Amino acid sequence: MHLHTIDEANMNFKELAHKRYSVRSYQSIPVEEEKLIGVIEAALLAPSAVNFQPWKFVVVTEPSLLSQLHGCYHRDWFKSAPACIVAIGDHDRGWHRPTDGKDYTDMDVAIAIDHLMLAAAEVGLGTCWVCHFNAEKCAEIFNLSANFEPIAMIPIGYPLTGSAPEKKRKTFDQLVLWNHFEE
């Protein structure tokens, strides 16, 4: 197997990916609007199946609305974030694979969220991907119709602590196979 030389751009991406971690304590300072716009713009650049872009992002900075979101996920650390981005999938706009009807909305939104989180890390912001929340209550807060689903809530702000904890990852050999599959 021939290994290609890692160029500077790839190294920078790997450093950024390593820098991003799930932040669970935030400073109380508000996040600048231009930084919030920047991370959303990164999300909007994400690829999606057939380029349908079946997503909406609600940026929440208003304290009374944040308080309502806190009712969807009962963790004290979640309340420390000065902002939250709610990623919403539109299942009517998502691509569905013709052979079996598989809906790619969740996958498309997940890719966009990943872009958003990496962009946030690049500008010194912390995020955490929150999936274990009351999606029905969240949908009620925003008065969503049935085709719209809150996929994730992403608290965002300046981390209280400065560096990422050590990441626990399986090894390359445990997860990567060449030219065959085995369990």
What number does CATH give the domain 20-163? 3.40.109.10
Angle (nearest 5°) at CA 117 between 115 and 122: 95
> pTM of the predicted model, to two decimals?
0.90
Share of the chain residues as helix, strand and coil, in percent rounded to the nearest 5: 35, 15, 45
List the domain boundaries for the chain.
20-163
Residues 150 and 45: beta-carbon distance below 8 Å = no
Q: What is the pLDDT of residues 121-155, one digit of tens each?
A: 999 999 999 999 999 999 999 999 999 999 999 99
Q: What is the pLDDT of residues 24-79, one digit of tens each?
A: 999 999 999 999 999 999 999 999 999 999 999 999 999 999 999 999 999 999 99
